[in-house]
Amino acid sequence: MEQTLSIIKPDGVKRNLIGKIVDRFESNGLRIAAMEMKWLSRREAEGFYAVHKDRPFFGELVDFMVSGPVVVMALEGEDAVVRNRDLMGATNPSEAKAGTIRADFAESIGENTVHGSDSLENAKIEINYFFPSTQVMSDIK
């Protein structure tokens, strides 16, 4: 059993896609272990994406992530990290496989509707970034 972090980005929330995206997770072997809708502060978004701070798109990425509310979730299930990445599709929606969240909903590489942890190690760091362990409802069935 693994956990991974998912974020429905401001474009997904603005376009009323929360339910459709959560359904993709719940219908494909993932459970919601923690969930919060929040408007990230600039400091919070910069901290979350600190690994990208030297990339040319960092400023644009942070501006976008603070442009409206997001939904932050811990997802739990077998192979949750890879399963979530398979459901999301490639970072660039024009390269995402048909039927993935980004192929179906995302409009550009910057506004790509969802974030998902890229490894189990980063999943732990990212879940801890947003949720105290008491807020993660692990293994409830």
d(CA 96, CA 34): 27
Q: Is 122 in the site for ligand CMP (CB under 6 A)?
A: no
Applying CB under 6 A, among 1, 15, 53, 57 the residue interacting with ligand CMP is: 57
Q: Is 61 in the site for ligand CMP (CB under 6 A)?
A: yes
Separation of alpha carbons 114 and 112, rounded Å: 6
Half-sphere exposure (CA, 13 Å, Cβ side) for 99? 2
52 in active site:
no
What is the closest distance, in whole angstroms, from the C-beta atom of residue 49 to ligand CMP in the complex?
Answer: 6
Q: How far is CA 5 from CA 25, 32, 84, 115, in A?
A: 12, 10, 9, 8
Query: Which region, judged by CB under 6 A, interacts with ligand CMP, from 13-21, 74-82, 107-115, 127-135?
Result: 107-115
Interface contacts to ligand CMP, rule CB under 6 A: 52, 57, 60-61, 91, 109-110, 112, 115
